[in-house]
Structure 1
C-alpha cells in the first residue's frame, strides 16, 4: 500500500476551492447583471427626453433613455451591421458628430440594405441611447428606414450557467481525484 499523496491532495483542494469561489463570484455577477438590466428596463419607461450626456458615466447611467442632441458638424460617416424595425439585417448608417461644446457623439441615422446610403449634414437628433454609446435616431434621418429600437432584453445574462459550470468542474475534479487516489491505494 502506498503513502497518501498529501501535496497532490492539497493542490487539488486549492484548485477545487478556487473553482467553487469562481462559481460564487458568478452568482454575485448574476445579481449585479439582473440589477443592471432592471435599471435599463426602467430607463425605457420615461417618455421625456434627456440631453445627450457629455461624460462616460452619464452615458452609461442613461442607456436606453430617450435623448436629444444637436450635431453642429458631421466629422465622418460609416456603416455598421444592424437590423431594421422589421428585424431584417442590413447596414445601420452612422455619423460622427461634434456638438456645440466640442464633445463627440455617434449617431445612428437609420437603416439601409446598402452601406453608406443617405446623406446628412447634421442638425437636431432625437432617439434612444444605445450601448457604445450611440444615439439611435427615432425617427430615422436622411430618408433611411428605422433601425431596430435598442432593447436591454438583448443583453445576455449567462452568469448562472457559468456558476453551474464552475461547480460542475469542482465536483468533477473531486470525483476524478478520489478515483485516482482509490486506485493508487489498491494497486
Structure 2
C-alpha cells in the first residue's frame, strides 16, 4: 500500500492556505473600499470649498469643491476627457505655480482639439478635486466647454469577485490534488 506523499500534500495545503488568506484579505479590502466610496460620495455633497494650498491636497479631499490661485502657468497640455454631455475629447490642462510655492494641475475645460487653451495664463480657479490630484475647473476657463465633473460612482469595487476567485482557486487546487492522489493510491 502506498503512503500519501508528505511533501506534496504539505505544499498543496500551504498554497491553499495562502489562497484562502488572499480571499479573506480581498473581503477586508471590500469593506475598506465601500467606506472610501461612501466618503467620496459624501464629499461631493459638501458645498463648502476647501483651499488648494502650496502643500497640495490629500486623498481625503478628493471630490470636494476647491479653489486655488494659479500665479503662473508652467505649461499647457491635454489629457483624454469627456465634456459635460459625455462626448469624448481632450481635457485642456495647465501646470500651475501656486503663491508661496507648490504646484497644481488644473483641467481648464474641454475641447475636441489638443492644446486649445494655451492663451490662459493663470488666475483664480474653482472646481472639483479629481484623482491625481487635479482640479477640474467648474466653470471652465479659457473659453473652453465644461468638463465632465469627476464622479466617484465610476470607481470599480471588484474586491468581492477577487475574493471569490481566490476561494475558487483554493477549491480547484484541492479537487485536483484529491483526484491526483486518488489515482496514485488506486494504482496499488
When normalised by structure 1's length, the TM-score is: 0.97
SS of the residue aligned with 1:182? helix
Equivalences for 1:71-90 in 2 at 5 Å? 71-90=70-89
> What CA distance in whole angstroms lies between the structure 2 residues aligned with 1:163 and 1:141?
44
- Which residue is 1:114 aligned to? 113
Deviation digits for residues 26-65 of structure 1 (CA, Å, limit 9, x no counterpart): 0000101110111111111111111114446x42111000
Q: How many Å apart are 1:2 and its aligned residue?
A: 2.1
Q: How many Å apart are 1:3 and its aligned residue?
A: 1.9
> What CA distance in whole angstroms lies between the structure 2 residues aligned with 1:48 and 1:33?
25
> What CA distance in whole angstroms lies between the structure 1 residues aligned with 2:100 and 2:37?
31
- Which residue is 1:127 aligned to? 127
In the TM superposition, structure 1's runs of 4+ consecutive aligned residues that sit over 2 Å from their partners are 53-56
SS of the residue aligned with 1:136? strand
Equivalences for 1:89-168 in 2 at 5 Å? 89-118=88-117, 119-168=119-168
Q: How many Å apart are 1:165 and its aligned residue?
A: 0.2
Q: Do the aligned residues in 1 keep the contact of 2:54 with 2:101 (CA within 8 Å)?
A: no
Equivalences for 1:161-176 in 2 at 5 Å? 161-176=161-176
Instruction: Summarize the Cα distance change of 1:130–1:63 in structure 2 as closer, same or farther, 3 Å threshold.
Output: same
Gap runs ≥5 in structure 1: none
> What CA distance in whole angstroms lies between the structure 1 residues aligned with 2:53 and 2:60?
9
Alignment RMSD (CA, Å)? 1.0
Instruction: Summarize the Cα distance change of 1:53–1:171 in structure 2 as closer, same or farther, 3 Å threshold.
Output: farther
Gap runs ≥5 in structure 2: none
Does 1:50 find its partner at 2:50? yes
SS of the residue aligned with 2:20? helix
- What is the count of residue pairs matched by the alignment? 186
- Which residue is 1:70 aligned to? 69
SS of the residue aligned with 2:34? helix
SS of the residue aligned with 1:86? coil
SS of the residue aligned with 2:71? strand
When normalised by structure 2's length, the TM-score is: 0.96
